[in-house]
A and B are shown apart, each in its own frame.
Chain A
Amino acid sequence: MPDYQPLTIKRTFNASRQAVWDAWTVPEQFKQWYMPAPYSVGEVEFDVRPGGQLRVETVSPDGAIQPVVGEFKVVEAPEKLVTTNSPLDAEGNKLFEVQHSFVLTEVDGLTTIDLTSEVVWAGDQAAPYLVGMEPGLLQALDQLAALVS
């Protein structure tokens, strides 16, 4: 497996922590925003408790469904959510497993999400899905520079 780098992203929303938590954990809300266009979300099954399973159907523009399965690892409403996610291939095998850790903090009515996303495991077919988590370009340039000097 390549040395995938954890992805960290921070974003602040003009909403309460509870509203952000609900958008993430209530299937009817989750469906409405989770997949960037032109993709959309089909069926969503969430068992929101530690050890509970999740299943999300992602739908591509041609109607093809790719299921994502995973588990809720940590559920501390409304401040911390850790999940694993694995997209399945056509035979139902996991392509890879990513662990997302979301920490929500609310200050003056604004809620910040700190997301850390780590590749737990990656199969042979995973690389195209993990663009952006591969060793960063700038690090690669540094390594190249170190190699040639």
Chain B
Amino acid sequence: MNASTLIALAEPNRLKIVELLKGQPRTVNEIALLLELRQPQASKHLRALSDAGLVNVEPRAQQRIYSLNPEPFLQLEDWSRSFHSYWNQRFDNLDDHLTKG
């Protein structure tokens, strides 16, 4: 699990941006407007999300389109599931026991 993912998410406006991008890719102007942020502020947050690998940026004409990169969110899901590993280890042991007969 990458700490930079959690650090990037641990800011209310950045979390809101991630929520917005869950629905569809958006431009910085749309994001600033929807979240009632000044554009430089929105750009700063988007840069932080992009540096942490949470969003992708694609230039289109004069605009930059931001979208979510699914990879770190899948890692987050795996990490959360890993807390079940106690029973998984136990079941691994049971599997060995049953195989030995």
Q: Residue-by-residue, is A1-28 near B (CB-CB < 8 Å gives 1, otherwise 0)?
A: 0000001010101110001100100000
B32 shortest CB reach to chain A, Å: 16
A32-40, A46-54, A61-69, A81-89: which one contacts chain B? Answer: A32-40
Chain A residues near B90: list those with CB within 8 A.
33-36
Chain B residues near A23: list those with CB within 8 A.
94, 97-98
Chain B residues near A148: list those with CB within 8 A.
12, 15-16
Number of residues of chain A lying within 8 A (CB) of chain B: 28
- Contact in complex: A9, B84 (CB < 8 Å): yes
* Residue among B15, B87, B88 facing the most chain A CB atoms (10 A cut-off): B87
Checking B79, B88, B93 against A34 with a beta-carbon cut-off of 8 angstroms, the contacting residue is B93
Chain B residues near A20: list those with CB within 8 A.
94, 98
Q: Which residue of B lies closest to A132 (CB)?
A: B83
- Contact in complex: A132, B84 (CB < 8 Å): yes
Q: Residue-by-residue, is B2-32 near A (CB-CB < 8 Å gives 1, otherwise 0)?
A: 0000000100100110110000000000000
A35 shortest CB reach to chain B, Å: 8
Given contacts A9-B88, A11-B91, A33-B90, contact A145 B98 (CB under 8 A): no
The 5 lowest CB-CB distance pairs between A and B, nearest first, are A132-B83, A36-B89, A33-B93, A15-B98, A33-B97
23 residue pairs bridging A and B, Cβ less than 8 Å apart:
A9-B84, A9-B91, A13-B94, A13-B95, A13-B98, A14-B98, A15-B98, A15-B99, A19-B98, A20-B98, A23-B94, A23-B97, A32-B93, A32-B97, A35-B90, A36-B90, A131-B83, A132-B83, A136-B80, A137-B76, A137-B80, A138-B76, A148-B15
